[in-house]
């Protein structure tokens, strides 16, 4: 059962910090089919490092979650008017994923690095590609 005492604002801030502090996470992710591994700028010096195995596991979970039709429907409705910016994507999806988790509609480990990976995966594949059938 998911924790019910999650402060969404604090957790969202942790996710944004994870994106900012672990830019190498985006480079340790395998390239998505049909992309050339687009991510945050390489010139940003990583403040922290993520192990390759850990990054691959986060990517596996993120990919698995993004293949769920029910989750995609909810995400696409929320992402409909979001700019193609990884931080804006994270700010939009984090409260939504937490709410779906707390309602028992999906089971997502509440981990800032995983949520950051989900946001980066959406960013890399593009909102329009993720939501093509909902356009």
Burial (Cβ within 10 Å: 0-12, 13-18, ≥19) of residue 83? exposed
Domain that holds residue 68: 8-31+45-134
| pLDDT of res. 55 | 80
Rounded to an integer, the average pLDDT of 59-81 is 91
Give residue-wise pLDDT tens across range 17-68. Answer: 888 887 656 555 444 444 444 444 444 444 555 667 888 888 899 999 999 9
36 is a domain residue: no
Mean pLDDT confidence for 66-92: 91
CB atoms within 10 A of CB 28: 19
Residue 125 Cα to chain centre, angstroms: 11
Domain-embedded: residue 37: no
In a domain, 38, yes or no: no
Does 1 fall in a domain? no
Chain centroid to CA 14: 13
The reply to whether 39 falls in a domain is no
As for how many domains the chain has, the answer is 1
Contact 70, 106 (CB under 8 A): yes
Task: Answer whether residue 109 is part of any domain.
Answer: yes
Secondary structure letter of residue 32 according to DSSP: P
Residue 68 lies in a domain: yes
pTM tops 0.75, yes or no: yes
pLDDT at 116 over 70: yes
Comparing 35 with 134, which gets the higher pLDDT? 134
**12 within some domain:** yes
Residue 5 pLDDT > 90, yes or no?
A: no
């Amino acid at each position: 059962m998911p924790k019910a005492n999650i402060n969404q604002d604090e957790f969202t801030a942790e996710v944004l910090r994870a994106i900012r502090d672990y830019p190498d996470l985006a480079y340790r992710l395998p390239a998505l089919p049909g992309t050339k591994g687009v991510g945050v700028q390489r010139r940003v010096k990583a403040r922290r490092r993520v192990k390759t195995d850990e990054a691959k596991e986060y990517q596996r979970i993120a990919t698995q979650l993004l293949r769920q039709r029910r989750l995609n429907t909810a995400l696409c409705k929320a992402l409909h008017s979001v700019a193609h910016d990884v931080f804006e994507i994270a700010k939009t999806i984090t409260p939504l994923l937490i709410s779906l988790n707390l309602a028992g509609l999906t089971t997502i480990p509440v981990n800032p690095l995983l949520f950051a990976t989900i946001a980066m995966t959406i960013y890399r594949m593009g909102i329009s590609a993720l939501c093509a059938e909902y356009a």
